[in-house]
Structure 1
Amino acid sequence: MGRLVPAVTRALDILELFLEGDGTLSAPDIVRRLRLPRTTVHELVGTLTARSYLVPVPGKAGHYRLGVRAYQLGSRYAEQLDLAAEGQQVARSVAETCEETVHVAILEDTDVIYVAKVDSTQAVRMVSAAGRRLPAHCTAVGKMLLASLPAEELAARMPDDAELRAMTSNSITDPATLREELARIAERGFAVEESESNPDVSCVAAPVRDRSGRVVAALSISVPLIRWSEERRAELAELARRGAVRLSERLGHRGLR
């Protein structure tokens, strides 16, 4: 990497301040936060305003917010994002940490489709493939995605008389029982599947959000029963959550870690 240009670095530092709080700042606020000379801040703010990266806030003299050019850059970045490619990179990082199989999946009607997958390095591991489709109610990723739906949309996809196919003896086949499980998932923020799609495998999953905050995918970690325990479940749930947060950030979401 070449030498960083101080003026550019300071200008970017100013722009990044607007990602916090209510998104409005005055020049004195910036001086205080970045500990820069007042004249430097006024020159940089003036330049950023002239180029439409900042705009004055109507009715608040001396205050600024992000301008249309910042929005245009963010929109262009979002257009270039590829959930599968971004998911594969994050899944690889998570898998390297836990040495288990990691998936990223999306919801399509009442099924999940795996769009990214990294295999475990363990001798005993889950066998699956990207592109595979499974009933959502039988998987941790699927239950996480169903739990994230608005109530009316969930009711449309899973009505009271829905026939829920069993993949194992542990699969949930009663819609009322499923809704109770989804309510618990929504409250705690992650999903667990214990031998519901594969009798020899359990999983944990966490939600992945796009820049609008909408849940668009879920990231899961799958573990053979021989390595599953309450302690391992808690450990992997936190790891899945952190991985889902990283993927969400790569998709433009500004949630809390």
Structure 2
Amino acid sequence: MKDDLLGPVVRAFRVVNAMAEAGEDLSGKQLSDQLELPPSTVHRLLQLLAKLDIVEQNPDDHKYRPGSQLLRIAFSIVRRSDVASMGDKYLRGIVDELNATCVLWMLIPEADLVVTAGVARSSHPLDFVDIAFAPRGLAWGAVGRAVLAHLPDSVVERVAQNAGPSPTGKALEPLDEFKANLAQIREQGYAFSEGHTISEAVGVAVPIFGHNGTVVACYAATLPMSRFKPAMKKKMVEVVTAGARKLSLDLGYSGTSAAAK
């Protein structure tokens, strides 16, 4: 459907989703180019979203980022979730085995986003001082793709259509290749990425399923590349997978994902 047939609500959603997908501040021009919307339209939408605190403008470079109200909405949803309340107990165990920062990410399906539901940091002095825990889109990183691999094809196509470059400047694969990579993730049960959303970082993410077999979240362990050795990948996958399986069982998952039915 062409943009001139879409209402302002849908266009505003596309702006918010593009900002979350980018994982970095974006200018109005960047959003206009990426979404193929007139600059004047993007400007009006950003001004409206800023008034609602859905986005905010960086006073230094005048670029835009998710605002406080959007984060409050996301985290209020997360706090009410069984996923968040039940998922914390396995985070520390993953970190203790890997000494890697581990995050529980929860899917917000209405927005094609994942948001942080729990964090456990490693004690290693060379680990991250800070990781961007703002809402993320699904096109990039082990986190997004571990979840997206278990969503319907219509969602995959929508995410691909709206995706711009990764936060580290990578271009999205052609759609057929993108779908093939997601199919491989679905088959192997985990996603692995290097430098997709955080420069000089590797991540392993494993999906978490609810009682009806739909993906609801994922666990992700992240290490700086300076600490990562290829031989570590096997243990990372095993440990994160064990935690994800335990939480899925706690949520009533019977063993078959909705994507596989």
Question: Shorter chain as normaliser: what TM range?
Answer: 0.5 to 0.7
Larger relative contact order, structure 1 or 2 (CA cutoff 8 Å, min sep 6):
2
Instruction: Name 2:136's counterpart in structure 1.
Output: 134
User: 1 CA distance for matches of 2:119 and 2:251?
Assistant: 18
Is the contact made by 1:138 and 1:197 (CA closer than 8 Å) also made in structure 2?
Answer: yes
Q: Write the mapping of 1:163-182 to structure 2, written as runs, cut at 5 A.
A: 163-169=163-169, 171-176=170-175, 177-182=177-182
User: 1 CA distance for matches of 2:105 and 2:172?
Assistant: 21
CA separation of 1:156 and 1:136: change in aligned 2, threshold 3 A:
closer
Instruction: Using the TM superposition, give the Cα deviation of residue 158 of structure 1 relative to its aligned residue in structure 2, in angstroms.
Output: 2.8
Instruction: Name 2:217's counterpart in structure 1.
Output: 217
Instruction: Name 2:74's counterpart in structure 1.
Output: none
Q: Write the mapping of 1:190-201 to structure 2, written as runs, cut at 5 A.
A: 190-201=190-201
Instruction: Name 1:233's counterpart in structure 2.
Output: 233
Secondary structure at 2:226's aligned position in 1? helix
What are the superposed Cα offsets for residues 52-94 of structure 1, whole Å, 9 maximum, x if unpaired?
xxxxxxxxxxxxxxxxxxxxxxxxxxxx972112122111121
Instruction: Name 1:10's counterpart in structure 2.
Output: none
Is the contact made by 1:112 and 1:136 (CA closer than 8 Å) also made in structure 2?
Answer: yes
Instruction: Name 1:188's counterpart in structure 2.
Output: 188
Is the contact made by 2:139 and 2:163 (CA closer than 8 Å) also made in structure 1?
Answer: no
Q: Which amino acid aligns with 1:128?
A: I
Is the contact made by 2:142 and 2:193 (CA closer than 8 Å) also made in structure 1?
Answer: yes
Q: What TM-score, normalized by structure 1, do the two folds share?
A: 0.62
Instruction: Name 1:121's counterpart in structure 2.
Output: 123
Instruction: Name 1:106's counterpart in structure 2.
Output: 106
Say yes or no: does 1:242 pair with 2:242.
Answer: yes
Rg: which structure is higher? 1
Q: Write the mapping of 1:62-101 to structure 2, written as runs, cut at 5 A.
A: 82-101=82-101
User: 1 CA distance for matches of 2:115 and 2:174?
Assistant: 21
Secondary structure at 2:182's aligned position in 1? helix
Is the contact made by 1:164 and 1:174 (CA closer than 8 Å) also made in structure 2?
Answer: no
The number of residues matched between the two structures is 173
What are the superposed Cα offsets for residues 154-187 of structure 1, whole Å, 9 maximum, x if unpaired?
223333xx34232114x34235243232121112
Q: Which amino acid aligns with 1:173?
A: L
User: 1 CA distance for matches of 2:166 and 2:132?
Assistant: 21
Instruction: Using the TM superposition, give the Cα deviation of residue 149 of structure 1 relative to its aligned residue in structure 2, in angstroms.
Output: 0.6
RMSD of Structure 2 on Structure 1 (CA): 2.1
Q: What TM-score, normalized by structure 2, do the two folds share?
A: 0.61
- Stretch deviating more after TM superposition (222-231 or 106-115): 106-115
Tell me, which stretches of 5 or more residues in structure 2 are unaligned?
Answer: 1-79, 257-261
Secondary structure at 2:139's aligned position in 1? helix
Is the contact made by 2:139 and 2:160 (CA closer than 8 Å) also made in structure 1?
Answer: no
Instruction: Using the TM superposition, give the Cα deviation of residue 134 of structure 1 relative to its aligned residue in structure 2, in angstroms.
Output: 2.2
Instruction: Name 1:149's counterpart in structure 2.
Output: 151
Tell me, which stretches of 5 or more residues in structure 1 are unaligned?
Answer: 1-79
User: 1 CA distance for matches of 2:141 and 2:174?
Assistant: 15
Secondary structure at 2:123's aligned position in 1? coil
